[in-house]
Structure 1
Amino acid sequence: MNEDQILGLISQNILYLLGALFVVIVVLKGIKIVPQSEKYVIERFGRLHSVLGPGINFIVPFLDNVAHKISILERQLPTASQDAITRDNVLVEVETSVFYRILNPEKTVYRIRDVDGAIATTVAGIVRAEIGRMDLDEVQSNRAELISTIKASVEDAVDNWGIEVTRAEILDVNLDQATRDAMLQQLNAERERRAQVTKAEGAKRAVELNADAELYAAEQLAKARRIEAEAEAYATSVVAQALRENGIEAAQYQVALKQVEALNALGDGAGNQTIVVPAQALEAFGDAFKLFRKPTS
């Protein structure tokens, strides 16, 4: 094999190697493996051609170019602080934080340059506008509603940028010292008012309970008197019944009992007493005690 043949063989091998290298380069250029957390924006001749999702993708080598690699992970903007004035003219400092993620990279890369700065500016304007419609008490008490309104407003504003706002938070609402002192005085006054109301309600309840107790005592006393009166009426009716049945004998019996009770009372006195009993009394006793010997029918 002469020198020319050797040179020709070497040249031929070099061509084969160059061809194989070209094929490898074409394959590498035509195959794109996109990570799960990213999307690729493909340009052809400087114009948007397609967006590649996660996985294996094929493009036209040397014609198509990966112009942008966009992360689709959720992002958090740095905590921002802005001043706002409430409807009742109170200056507040609001700290906010926004979370978002990119849904349509082709809109994000071709419609907005600094997406983080644009979202932060939009949030600041919306926060000032929404707080300006509310009193300070409403800002403090309706924070969840305020956050929901801000999130919806930001979503509408950034919709053309291919962005989804996943969460918006109001971290804190700060007041100046003068406003804090005024609110503290108001809070103390409200506590004092509630204490006075509670005390007055307690006194009123005590009066009501006392009145109920007196009413109950009066009712019980009236009930006792009624029972006593009923007992006396019953005793009177028994006596009247005896008088109707036995006539004068029952009356003499009652008189005799009363006289015996009187004599017993005199006998129980201190010292020695001499009791003179009239003859009429002895006769009355005898007539009365005859009732005990009277046979019953």
Structure 2
Amino acid sequence: MTSKGFFCFACIGQATVGVVEQWGRFQRIAGPGFHFLNPFAGECLAGVLSTRVFSLEVRIETKTKDNVFVQLLCSIQYRVIKESADDAFYELQNPQEQIRAYVFDVVRAHVPRMTLDDLFEQKGEVAKAVLDELEKVMGAYGYNIEQILMVDIIPDSFVRKAMNEINAAQRLQLASIYKGEAEKTLLVKKAEAEAEAKYLGGVGIAKQRQAITEGLRANILNISNSVSGTSAKEVMDLIMVTQYFDTIKELGNSSKNTTVFLPHGPAM
């Protein structure tokens, strides 16, 4: 504030408001810009307040319903209400300590009714409860609570280690289940494939034997019709001898056979 002649003037910066008093009593709020003050009328600039958004971090240690000690890190964003700047200037000497005290009170009233898992899932509910309480209380002092963020929840180190081990065990168990299901599926598919292969092999053998039987039957009928006086048994004996010699021939033509020949003859 600068004086010149019988008047004084004050320049209020952007994003700030000035509190003007007259004879020690609040008179008005001065917005950003250039203002004339009359000291002979008792006017003076008592002080200025910033209307920017301030951020206050509060760390609270408390206990959950399942007896786990945790630390909660809250970030409170607040600002002075321009229209109520006189309340903010005169009513509270240390607004940060006032906000901190209410945050402690609300958090320690809500968290002990929640388990640790519930706290992680419903941390937004805790932040909303703090916001509702602070808006109601700090509004009377000329402050507006813009936002409250529950930045972090930090359990005791032993609890964090136990939680990580539980999570790892659950994931290993789930992996084992998936692995077992995959192996089961492979075994089932393999068994189905083997059964199908055996079925098809059996069908092939049956058809092969049927073809051999049909061929033998046709040969017997042809020989019986071509050579008069031959019986079916004689024809079968002839076919057996022929197949016997064909088998001996095949064994003799292969160089990799390890067959041991014993005295034998075709079964008649």
CA 1:157–1:230 in 2, change beyond 3 Å: closer, same or farther? farther
Matched letter for residue 195 of structure 1: L
Deviation at 1:122, TM superposition (A): 1.3
Q: What TM-score does the superposition give when structure 1 sets the normalisation length? A: 0.62
Report the equivalent of 1:154: 134
What is the CA–CA distance in structure 2 between the aligned matches of 1:140 and 1:225, rounded to whole Å? 64
Alignment of 1:6-85 (within 5 A): 24-26=4-6, 28-29=7-8, 31-58=9-36, 62-63=40-41, 64-77=43-56, 79-85=57-63
User: Does residue 1:124 correspond to 2:104, yes or no?
Assistant: yes
Superposition RMSD in Å: 4.0
SS in 1 for 2:113: coil
Alignment of 1:1-297 (within 5 A): 24-26=4-6, 28-29=7-8, 31-58=9-36, 62-63=40-41, 64-77=43-56, 79-104=57-82, 105-144=85-124, 146-170=126-150, 173-175=153-155, 180-181=157-158, 184-185=161-162, 187-189=164-166, 191-192=168-169, 194-230=171-207, 233=210, 249=222, 252=225, 259=238, 262-263=241-242, 265-266=244-245, 268=248
- The question of whether the paired residues in 2 share the 8 Å contact of 1:51 and 1:106 is answered with yes
SS in 2 for 1:132: helix
What is the CA–CA distance in structure 1 between the aligned matches of 2:193 and 2:243, rounded to whole Å? 42
Report the equivalent of 1:285: none
Matched letter for residue 112 of structure 1: L
CA 1:25–1:40 in 2, change beyond 3 Å: closer, same or farther? same
- The question of whether the paired residues in 2 share the 8 Å contact of 1:126 and 1:154 is answered with no
What is the CA–CA distance in structure 1 between the aligned matches of 2:221 and 2:119, rounded to whole Å? 99
State the Cα deviation string for residues 53-109 of structure 1 (Å, max 9, x = none). Answer: 1123355553333222112233344x5444323222333344444332212312212
Deviation at 1:152, TM superposition (A): 4.1
Identity %: 19
SS in 1 for 2:105: helix
Matched letter for residue 34 of structure 1: I
| 5+ long unaligned stretches in structure 2 | 227-231, 253-260, 262-268
What is the CA–CA distance in structure 2 between the aligned matches of 1:261 and 1:193, rounded to whole Å? 70
| 5+ long unaligned stretches in structure 1 | 1-22, 272-297
Deviation at 1:36, TM superposition (A): 0.6
What is the CA–CA distance in structure 2 between the aligned matches of 1:131 and 1:138, rounded to whole Å? 9
CA 1:24–1:81 in 2, change beyond 3 Å: closer, same or farther? closer
Matched letter for residue 55 of structure 1: G
Matched letter for residue 114 of structure 1: N
Q: Is the radius of gyration larger for structure 1 or structure 2? A: 1
What is the CA–CA distance in structure 1 between the aligned matches of 2:134 and 2:166, rounded to whole Å? 40
SS in 2 for 1:62: helix
Name the structure with the higher helix share: 1
What is the CA–CA distance in structure 1 between the aligned matches of 2:121 and 2:135, rounded to whole Å? 24
SS in 1 for 2:10: strand
Matched letter for residue 43 of structure 1: E
Matched letter for residue 222 of structure 1: Y
